[in-house]
Every structure is written in structure tokens, then in C-alpha cells.
Amino acid sequence: MPDLSHLQDFELSELLSEEPDRCRLTLLGTLPSSWNASNDAKGHRLRAIIRIEKNAIPIEHSTSLFQDLIRKVEMMESTDIYTWFSGWMSSEASITKQPQGDVKINVICPATDVHVRKYTKQESILVQETPELYRRIVEPYIAGFPAERTRWVTEILAGRAEQDKVLYSSSDFIILPDMKWDLHTTSSLYLIAIARDPALRSLRDLRGNSHIALLETIRQEAYKTVGDKWGIGRGGLRMWIHYQPSYYHFHVHIVNANYELPGMGMAVGQAHLLEDVIALLTVNSNIFDVMTLTYGLGEQHGLYEPMKAAQEEIR
């Protein structure tokens, strides 16, 4: 029967598919004829496809994760209460060959009740937010958002954190890697553009006569940055704005167009393509002040109960 010694004879000829979100690689190559006992062409190599996929970590291992499974960690960055590491489950001999690590470890400490609610598995509903509901319910919620939730943004913009990661900086915005990216795998490239203007909090604040130039420059500099550094050309990026966002300081997500994110990060209603936003503002400068927005809200979100109750008012 085939065993590890046969797999060690695998000769790679081509990477067929890389799926970072599924922790999976599909490889094309050859195996020795001895792999298949019924094969008649003895001594010849057989074309083979191998798919390698990382299994889910068993829940029973969660209590001993950092004692038994993780062999080494290196801190990638730390800003305010957020820290992220690369972690290796591999043997010491292979650690240097895999600079991005086997796993990425994000730590939030100290974590607030808001963080706990955000990361708790929850049911979601779709709500319609009219301009009136925005002004009555959502805008006061945003105004009351604790300043400490965006202190990490302030630290970056003030030049006190993550400055070695900044890829582009101007008086209007900066571009740097998002904490979700491992900084190595181009197919899962994930950057973030953060506006410097603290008064610009969400999609609702955008106005054509004030912000089209900003959005177009973000798009232009994002393509220039990834083109110069990673060779990604026009059409190779997917850029979007979340509504509702996870924090209320305006930012644009910049991701490799071939990277399909799991979860609601790219769901219809939450993710608004940058190109579409620019086009809408060109048609009507005040479009996001007057239109009704439909989006998903998890039951742990601070807006869930008031917005759910308010849906009865919409006809």
C-alpha cells in the first residue's frame, strides 16, 4: 500500500490552486509507478494531483493548544489592545522554510463586552435603514461609540504604531496591510486604506462634491502600490466599503480579486464596491444621505434590537 515514502517521491510540476481561506493547496506532479500496483508501465512516473487541506483543530485540543500543538510563535505586530502572531506547528527544521507560519494568531486583550458579542456565533437578520432611521437610531449610536474602540487607528495615523508596515501615506489617507493578512501569501493579499479625517465615519458621510477625489485617489494609489510591490494589475483588486462597518472611522478594504473571503465580509448588502460607490456619488452627490440601505445585523450587534423593532415602521 502507498505510504509516506511514496509521497516523499512526489515531484511537483505545477501549482493548480491555492485557497488560503480554506487552508488548501492543489498540486500537479508525478509519483513513481510503484504507487499503483496495477500499473503496467513499470519504471515510468504517473501524473498525479494532490490536494492538501488543513483539518479543523479538534475542540478538545483548545485547552492545551499552546502547550502541545503550537511549537513556536513570533509577534507580527501590536497596536493598542490588538496583537497578532505567526505560529508554527511544524518541526524546528521546517520553521525557517515557512516564514508565514502554520497559523495566524490574533489576540485582543483586554477584550470588552463589545468584542465578546462581535465574535460570538449569532443569528442575523436583514434590516432596512431609511434616512430617518439613520438619523434617529444609527447616528446617535455612532456618536456614542467609545473612543477606545478606535484608539488603534489613532495610534497608526499619529505615527506611533505600525509605521514599518505603511505602504502609502498622504495628508488624506494611508494604506497598510490589514491584520487579517499573513504578510506573505499574495493570493490572500489584504490591505486597508484609512482616511485621516475623523469626521468621515461611514458610507453615510460620503458626499460627491467632497469625497469622490479621495475615493478615486485611494483606488489609484492602491493599484500603484500593489502593482509596484506584487505585480498585480488593473482588475486584480476587489475594493469595498462595509456598512455597517466594524469600527466608525472611514476605511476601504483592498483585497486580491481572486481571494474569496468566508463569512459575511463580502456579503451582499454589507460590502459596497468602491467603483459602485464612486459611480453613485457621481450621479447624485448626496445619494448616501437620502437612500435606504439594506444590510445584515447579527443579534449581538448594538443596533440589532432597536433596528429590528423599527422595521415595523417600514412599508
Give me the catalytic one of 44, 61, 184, 251: 251
**Which residue range is the domain that position 83 belongs to?**
59-108
In a domain, residue 117? The reply is no
pLDDT at 100: 73
Same domain, 225 and 276: yes
Q: How many CA atoms lie within 13 A of 200 on its CB side?
A: 17
Number of domains comprising the chain: 3
The 10 Å CB-count burial string (b at 16+, else e) for 103-120 is: bbbeeeeeeeeeeeebee
pLDDT at 118: 79
Same domain, 39 and 139: no
Same domain, 73 and 214: no
Same domain, 80 and 31: no
- 251 assigned to active site: yes
Same domain, 130 and 37: no
pLDDT tens over the chain, length 315 residues: 677 777 888 899 999 988 887 788 889 999 888 877 665 556 688 888 888 887 777 777 677 777 777 778 888 888 888 888 888 876 665 556 666 777 788 888 878 888 888 777 788 999 999 999 999 999 999 999 888 889 999 999 999 999 999 999 999 999 999 988 888 889 889 999 999 999 999 999 999 999 999 999 999 999 999 999 999 999 999 999 999 999 999 999 999 998 877 655 677 888 999 999 999 999 999 999 999 999 999 998 999 999 999 998 887
Question: How far is the C-alpha of 305 from the C-alpha of 313, rounded, in Å?
Answer: 14
Question: How far is the C-alpha of 161 from the C-alpha of 169, rounded, in Å?
Answer: 14
In a domain, residue 114? The reply is no
Same domain, 177 and 291: yes
Burial grade of 49 (CB within 10 A; 0-12, 13-18, 19 or more):
exposed
pLDDT at 201: 96
In a domain, residue 47? The reply is yes
For 3, the grid coordinates are 505510504
243 is in an annotated binding site: yes
In a domain, residue 115? The reply is no
Same domain, 130 and 96: no
165 is in an annotated binding site: no
251 is in an annotated binding site: yes
Question: How far is the C-alpha of 120 from the C-alpha of 108, rounded, in Å?
Answer: 14
102 is in an annotated binding site: no
Same domain, 64 and 182: no
Same domain, 24 and 103: no
Asked which of 74, 108, 142 is the last residue of a domain, the reply is 108
Same domain, 75 and 185: no
Question: How far is the C-alpha of 94 from the C-alpha of 101, rounded, in Å?
Answer: 10
pLDDT at 136: 97
In a domain, residue 273? The reply is yes
In a domain, residue 182? The reply is yes
Residue whose C-alpha cell is 509507478: 33
- Cβ count within 10 A of residue 207: 15
Asked which of 108, 132, 148 is the last residue of a domain, the reply is 108
Residue 180 sits in a domain whose CATH number is 3.30.428.10
In a domain, residue 73? The reply is yes
In the beta sheet, which residues pair with residue 190?
Answer: 255
Same domain, 26 and 73: no
pLDDT at 234: 93
pLDDT at 309: 95
Question: How far is the C-alpha of 86 from the C-alpha of 77, rounded, in Å?
Answer: 10
pLDDT at 43: 66
In a domain, residue 260? The reply is yes
pLDDT at 19: 81
pTM (2 d.p.): 0.81
Same domain, 152 and 240: yes
